[in-house]
A and B are shown apart, each in its own frame.
Chain A
Amino acid sequence: MELTGTHTLNASAETIWAMLMNPDTLAKVTPGISRLELESEGVYKAIAEVKIGPVAGKFEGKAEVANAVAPQSFTLRVVQNSKIGNVNADINMMLKPLSDSQTELSFDGKADMSGLLARTGNRVMSGVASTLTKQFFKNFEDELSTAG
């Protein structure tokens, strides 16, 4: 499953970078992620709960921040296991400053699924992914306005 999204946020690249590197904020804005616990430098234990339509499950796994180039880009590697299947995702996050107070945040990547998650159909999962993307950016805006 391909994952892509682009959104302009009203904050500087440095502000957004800091938020993304803060596990509590990242957990808050990422839909379904209820907790990120730091395990070692850049490696988190991730607890996620997702329920959209027929896809519902509690995922436990690992999220890793790699190739970090502050405040421009990093790769988010996610390995999640659950009773309804496993997810392996590699997502490249990119921050492009548009001005001092505006940044374009974009990502692209790929998620491989197995088990029931794969079988219940990419048709459903693509819809889920696009909903999650929208939620992610909306949560980010909410978080920015709260912080501001």
Chain B
Amino acid sequence: MSNKFIGKSVKRTEDKRFITGKGRYTDDINLPGMTHAYILRSPYAHARIKSIDTSAAAAMQGVVTIMTGDEVGHYGVPCGWQVNFKNGDTMKEPPHPLLVKDKVRHVGDAVVMVVAESREIAQDAAEAIIINYEVLPAVTDASKAVEAGAPLVHDDVPNNICFDWEIGNPKAEVDEAMASAAHITTLEFVNQRVSPNAMEPRSYIGHYDGVYDKYTLYTSTQNPHLIRLLMCAFVLGLPEHKVRVVGPDVGGGFGSKIYHYTEEALVTLAAKKTGRPVKWTETRSEAFLTDAHGRDHVTKAEMGFDGDGKIVGLRIKTFANLGAYLSTFSTAVPTYLHGTLLQGVYTTPKIHLEMTCVFTNTTAVDAYRGAGRPEATYLLERLLDLSALEMGVDPTELRLKNFIPAFDGITQPGYQTNVALQYDSGNYHGVLQRGLEMLGYEDFRKAQNEAAASGKLLGVGFSTYIEACGIAPSAVVGSLGARAGLYEVGQVRVQPTGKVSVFTGAHSHGQGHETTFAQVVADRLGIPMEDVDIIHGDSDTVAFGMGTYGSRSLAVGGSAIMKSLDKIIEKGAKIAAHKLECSPDDIEFADGKFTVKGTDKSLGFGDIALTAYVPHVYPANLEPGLDFSSFYDPTNFTYPFGCHIAVVEVDKETGATKVKRFIAVDDVGNVINPMIVDGQIHGGVAQGIGQALLEGVEFDGNGQIINGSYMDYAMPRADDLPMFELDRQVTPCPHNPLGVKGAGEAGCIGSTPAVVNAVIDALWSAGHQVKDIRMPLTPERVWSAMQ
């Protein structure tokens, strides 16, 4: 493998079309005869539908069809993961109908779809529809929803509990360890609900071609094949070979575009019914109401230490809010993507998590950049820094004392945690030490003391995180309840002229796959990058795929491509050996040339490609062509980790927090394109700081979102952020061919607790010994904490 492109910050080839406004997103696609849909949604969080009168709307000129729950309410979207109650009972899985006919369960629940000649006509017609609601009391807080007498979101789900669940050591062992502790740090906190806010709103076009009896769905999704599988097999009962799903350019997902949304099936049904293409594009207001939200945990956590500061136990009780309906991944997020990360990077011998997953009258909650792992990291890293403050020890020394020792996963075995996973390779001391060097830790503490003396509040916060990425080994997730395998598919088609088309089941919606994957392919084949085309997002051209989420594209999708490249080279060597009259074993491939070992006799990659398609002089019993497809199913998750450090200054008078410095030392394994990895870290850190200081979906007592627009929902902006100081350590992944671990979520997982820890540290430096301030840390909340 040559190193002409790998490890270089190659400029992103896709950016030309994006920055010149020529990206082709779903809403940019207009088909002949296309109609437009508008969805009339519930203005109430919880209400019984007494009647729906669509007669005036149906009579309006330009209205093509109107659909209600009576027509399509028997179809519903499924949940992709089954999790069982502690007692073995199956989780409660109430239906999520495409359109509701009995009662609405959150603000934005879909009730009627109007299809018309234009979007404006559809919206005007929707306003002429009269729905008579009987408004019911609503519940939005997961910890309140389980109380006796709370409103029931689904009439047949007692106490609104979807399931309860536990992981770790037996509870009694953890209780015993905690009883022996010299110090216990207790932290009760809320990891608040956030809205994903992808730049491109969701957009779908349904199309039915009666001539070929074939459906096409254009969708702003992160995984077209998964949508096809779910919609065909579990929602509409359509034959999969008659359905094409295309995810063209997609403008950001952060998890929110993984899931199979009701509107995808609705436009598909409406297209068949009307015989015309049907487009639906959400408004930003709808995005706040219907794009699956993230986080929303209410937690009580206790960490016990012995007299030397070694962690002896961790005991946690959490209520996770799932919203009104189960979204595709929602049940996996607070369990298998959260509970399994509670070992962190520490040798904690006894861990127990008790998790209760709850329905409420709110928008569905599902994976959002990091998905369960930011919640685990927030819990652990807040406890570490707070424990250090409470015990009067240095937070970095406390970490160094409790870190799992470095291991490479090759000569040393992986690390078996108490919460099911086995870490692949890690060096946690290394990233913290590098972070401290960059910070100038001793100087910082001096500056902090001087600042405190002059009435200024400086604080530093640490976060040494770990995540499980490269989702996921199919057998493992299957045993955990996943209703799909999580391998990936990579097809490499060498064209007769030696140009290469690569088909990947991963899907790029901002990650730069067209560049990164081409760097890998070009180096492996020793050809120029411009000879490689990366094709993704179309179920008719790409054999299969599971899409992009969980920082999996390169670790799993890239590995599938590597497997196909190996097959290409192996076959190429046979063709070369035949033409060069030697044994295939005597052929070596390097820099795009098949060479007879120890000689200067060689054939170029292009010559072999042409021979494969014009097989005149060709080995007997070898098929023509040079085109291989591979499925790669990983043997383990990958485990990126890192150290994030925030330095903040808190204004004593106003409580306003300014992030002065942000240091991130991440170890994401081998790096193909450093610029793209830096970009991923930057974006993730911005989102993580956003959660710490600015963002949060707020409900009023009636279940109304009261900050459902950019007037009130505070997104992080450039002037909220310092220049990030980034560095990297490389501990390769021992179990995939590229040695890569994944970088998409790291920034978002590590950063949030570092910022909150820094604010708490600043307050303690002035004698305000507060344990927690509820995120987002608005000036008012920080100021109140100081009074």
Show the binding face of A for B, using Cβ within 8 Å.
54, 83, 85-86, 112-116, 118-124
Contacts and interface: CB of A to CB of B under 8 A. Distances in A.
Given A114-B44, A119-B285, A124 B700 contact: no
A36 B702 CA distance: 29
A83 B127 CA distance: 6
Nearest to B123: A83
The interface centre, meaning the residue of B704, B705, B707, B708 with most chain A CB atoms within 10 A of its CB, is: B704
B134 interface: no
Contacts of A124: 711
The interface centre, meaning the residue of B285, B700, B706 with most chain A CB atoms within 10 A of its CB, is: B706
Nearest to A83: B127
A98 B44 CA distance: 43
B414 interface: no
Contacts, number: 43
Contact of B709 (A85, A112, A120, A122): A120
Nearest to A53: B711
Contacts of B712: 120-121, 123
Given A83-B127, A112-B702, A114-B702, A120 B708 contact: yes
Nearest to A113: B704
Given A85-B43, A86-B43, A118 B711 contact: no
Contacts of A120: 708-709, 711-712
Contacts of A119: 285, 288-289, 704-709
B705 A118 contact: yes
B43 A115 contact: yes
A83 B709 CA distance: 17
Given A54-B711, A123-B712, A124-B711, A118 B127 contact: no
B127 A114 contact: no
Contacts of A116: 285
B107 interface: yes
Given A83-B127, A86-B43, A118 B709 contact: no
A124 B711 CA distance: 9
A122 B708 CA distance: 11
A85 B43 CA distance: 7
A86 B708 CA distance: 16
Given A118-B705, A119-B704, A120-B711, 19 more contacts: A86-B43, A114-B43, A114-B107, A114-B702, A115-B43, A116-B285, A118-B706, A118-B708, A119-B288, A119-B705, A119-B706, A119-B707, A120-B708, A120-B709, A120-B712, A121-B706, A121-B711, A121-B712, A124-B711
Contacts of A86: 43
Nearest to A115: B43
A115 B40 CA distance: 11
9 contacts: A112-B702, A114-B44, A114-B107, A114-B702, A115-B107, A119-B708, A121-B711, A122-B706, A123-B711
Which 3 A/B pairs are nearest by Cβ-Cβ distance? A119-B708, A118-B704, A115-B43
Contacts of A113: 704
B714 to A, nearest CB: 12
A120 B711 CA distance: 7
B22 to A, nearest CB: 33
Contacts of A112: 702
B183 to A, nearest CB: 43
A111 to B, nearest CB: 11
Contact of A121 (B127, B702, B707): B707
A119 B700 CA distance: 10
Interface in B685-730: 700, 702, 704-709, 711-712
Nearest to A118: B704
Interface string B99-137: 000000001000000000000000000010000000000
A114 B704 contact: yes
A83 B289 CA distance: 16
B79 to A, nearest CB: 27
Interface string B30-56: 000000000000011000000000000
Contacts of A85: 43
Nearest to B700: A118
A53 to B, nearest CB: 10
Contacts of A122: 700, 706
Contacts of A123: 711-712
A115 B711 CA distance: 15
A45 B707 CA distance: 31
Nearest to B126: A83
Contacts of B700: 118, 122
Interface in B67-108: 107
A6 to B, nearest CB: 25
The interface centre, meaning the residue of B44, B127, B707 with most chain A CB atoms within 10 A of its CB, is: B707
A120 B289 CA distance: 12
Nearest to B706: A122
B126 to A, nearest CB: 9
Interface string B466-510: 000000000000000000000000000000000000000000000
Nearest to B127: A83
Nearest to A85: B43
Contacts of B708: 118-120
A123 B518 CA distance: 50
A113 to B, nearest CB: 7
A116 to B, nearest CB: 6
A120 B717 CA distance: 20
Contacts of B289: 119
Contacts of A118: 107, 700, 704-706, 708
A2 B704 CA distance: 16
Contacts of B711: 54, 120-121, 123-124
B105 to A, nearest CB: 14
A82 to B, nearest CB: 9
Nearest to B704: A118
A11 B702 CA distance: 40
B765 to A, nearest CB: 33
A112 B703 CA distance: 11
A86 B42 CA distance: 11
Nearest to A120: B709
